[in-house]
Amino acid sequence: MVGKPPRKIPRSLRLISKYYFYTLITASLMIALDRVPTGIKGLDELLGGGFPLGKCILVVGSPGSGKTTFAIQYLYSGALQGETGLYVTLDEYPDMIKQNFQSYNWDLDSVEKKGRLLFLDASGLRRTKTKNNGPHALFSSDSSEGVGFTEVLKTLTKLVEGENVERIALDPITSIMLRYGDEVKRRRATVEFFDALADTGCTSLVTSELKTSLLDRRFQLEEFLSHGVVVLHTLMHQGNFVRAVQVEKMRGIAHDTQIRPYQFGTAGIEVFPRDKVF
């Protein structure tokens, strides 16, 4: 006796089954990820609690949008909670960075003396000569591509392991990428850099320049490599400049993708998670 052929499941039911399968997987990942408070008032509400633990987040913005303030505020908040943070400056000297934040009610010197806030001076990468400006200054007599970059990664790794660093902020990655005239080398260095940050196990912030406007958005390679992307916009609305933040991407967690206003205060950046820009 010949058995009946198996019933064919309708394609619509198969698609529904796949949808629910992937939904369950995504939901389980969102539940599993621990969060790290950002220290940015109002931002955690957009993120459902903070950044995903151990992930690398890219903060993109135009000059004056507050990228450095964002990075230091993130580290300072962690330092107040007993977490060690490492700030890697690729643009200005550490002393200049600290002077720029004297208007805020932050006591950076106190947390630095306690070993909760470390500064790694890699500003020499964008100059022909390096300068000793602190206990963690980098030196390199070779101006060729990649040499100074490798030194940064090695020093960063040693500090993370030796000082039990939990938070990292690198500001800005643009300074490293400008060293590479060849596009292939630039891409290889970017991938190597993000891999090195991921290997530290720290929750890291990397800042980058926003090269285009909101209406002409061009994505950069580092945006695809990072776990999440936060964009700091400077918009023109009804004749006025408006600062607005957008969580453009944050893998594995539910988040608000709407553009929300923010402002600078004595405590740093404050986001208004329930207000709309337009």
Question: Which CATH number is 227's domain given?
Answer: 3.40.50.300
Spatial distance between the Cα atoms of 201 and 77, rounded to a whole number of angstroms: 19
Q: Is residue 44 part of a domain?
A: yes
Q: Is residue 141 part of a domain?
A: yes
pLDDT of residue 240: 85
C-alpha angle 56/108/50, rounded to 5°? 30
CA-closest candidate to residue 173, choices 201, 197, 138, 144: 197
Inter-CA distances, 172 with 16, 19, 122, 155, 176, Å: 44, 40, 10, 17, 8
Q: Is residue 107 part of a domain?
A: yes
Q: Is residue 276 part of a domain?
A: no
Q: Is residue 235 part of a domain?
A: yes
Q: Is residue 8 part of a domain?
A: no
pLDDT of residue 101: 95
pLDDT of residue 28: 44
Q: Is residue 2 part of a domain?
A: no
Domain count, the chain: 1
Q: Is residue 25 part of a domain?
A: no
pLDDT of residue 198: 92
pLDDT of residue 137: 54
Q: What is the pLDDT along the chain (278 residues), one digit of tens a residue?
A: 555 555 555 544 444 444 344 444 444 444 557 999 999 999 999 999 999 999 999 999 988 999 999 999 999 999 999 999 999 999 889 999 999 999 999 999 999 999 999 999 988 776 544 444 455 555 333 444 544 678 888 999 999 999 999 999 999 988 777 777 788 888 888 888 889 999 999 999 999 988 655 555 566 788 888 999 999 998 877 788 889 999 999 999 999 999 999 999 999 999 999 999 87
Domain ranges, residue 189: 35-271
pLDDT of residue 143: 43
Spatial distance between the Cα atoms of 93 and 110, rounded to a whole number of angstroms: 19
Inter-CA distances, 145 with 9, 30, 174, 189, 257, Å: 58, 40, 14, 10, 37
